[in-house]
Structure 1
């Protein structure tokens, strides 16, 4: 494979050792990489090398990541081939993350991080995926009959689930969704901290409840946690860049998947994640709306006061389980 078919990734950090080591590590995993240490050097490199991805520390000696992002947006010559801008920072408050996303950053990676986790975040951001907006009552005049039927199904499911056992209800919802979509695995994950999640339930294993997850290894969950938006990730088999990279990353599951935000009351709770077989490369809008419907129902169940005495049973189980 020719070098021009590899994705070009530019690492920008005033920490020269980190920039060099991260660049070398990412290169060994199938990317074409280079590194710079300042805003001035980065501007020159962008114009001469035209990277498709930039991973930049927020603070630089002569500027910051947002200076580079503004340059990329305003200079026509800098836009050639450019697709993704990721930032790194030791400031990991939700306010800082949200500010970065509002400025147009694609992903926010908190320091310190494992290099292998950064590669997974990089691969995730290079994959094709769609973001879905909420379907609401104002859409009634514009949606077709099939979409309207999906919305009505949503209302029916919300009413039908009142008063059942919480653990059984959540498990049955994941089973129902998996069977309807011919999925590989459907899980509900409680995102309790920036880098820690706990499995609430999973359709393929009742004993999965309570398993602790290192969210650094699940970039799709962290993305939804940050954006609060449903994403549909397309299979990468047809991507000429990532198909090449796949052989370096055998531990990553490259099937299609859909990840939806889940709430408890007005607060973000976690995600519903549905992994699909490799043969499933296209998702219809109605299929995506149905998956969102189940996520809405999960949110309602978690918010139901009838289950107040049973909330967080999975966290109690997590105290005796290992992190995976």
Structure 2
């Protein structure tokens, strides 16, 4: 028997020893396994054990027989679906047409009349096996089509790259009963990156050495799928034999993910399969999925690119280009949001308005280039002196605002003084050795004196003018007493 050919399993349900001997002789020396029973009652149980491709049945066997036997064999709904051929003896005087129609309706696929002829027997068997193969191919194609539609529908519902890749590997692993399904991106040299793997959901962009994966290197070289029925005995894996010693009964499939002439990555599968590897239909299924994964990945990347561009545009729209602080318009958007929150929950909210002292003199003395540098670096000092939740914005010219959510008056005064000291102690460029100072005005929301967001700005602005009048480089606040 050729070990590389498919084995055909035959069950003979016949109590005629001569018929059994003839069938065994007809299929001897070929890739067939033949089992038999001389009792119709035992036949259904034997089907579950043997899972035959072909069944020869004497319909008048003792025990369960006739249409009942055919129906009992067919109702088991085996995969693969076995072909049933009746051995029919016209010498027994039965009415041929009625009997034949009844048996065929009961589940039989064909009949062969006694006496048996080897050529006729073999030809009918091959024809039924071919029909069964076609039937099986149709079933597999339908299942694969259904799976592909499920995958494409699932990945069509999201543009998140990680989610798309998770859907692909989990679905493919489930359909093919693989214990590992990964998508591996090809890098420079022998570098590869496992983007996702169904058996290790935490893995993302894991770098691997492709020198340890000759099967992947072969796919990169040929741009064709590779299927290894038994990795431990396959010549391709000889160089990494020590690394795969534990992979008993393991089959591997690697399918390229290509674009034009380039292999971008691979769909990589491992499955425990004793005496069988991946079928041609399974390889074809994975090739379709690999192509779909590329387009899904490409579309998701394109969506991310567009989203990033939109985010960049949004960032530009709310950012002052010189200082990289938020701009005046965005400051008022956030002020209204935080003011509404403070009113609703009676939570503290403070505002610092500050102005760089003598900034016009700096511009007039050193020029606008130095003036811009001072404004940029001072803005950076302010940004690094506050909390992440604080909103720092260029209010206008050399005036900067810091909105302080969840901050009381004492907290705002402390933060203002810290900013003042940090700026005063900052050393700027080597060709500019002046000490830069700021004047700061602080205001805090109160139910009585701040009815609108603009009221808080007006109070902080009034405090800023007081700081200027007090000699600059100081912090001032509008108190309840000064407002009464």
Q: TM-score, normalised by structure 2?
A: 0.30
More RCO (CA 8 Å, sep 6+)? 1
Rg: which structure is higher? 2
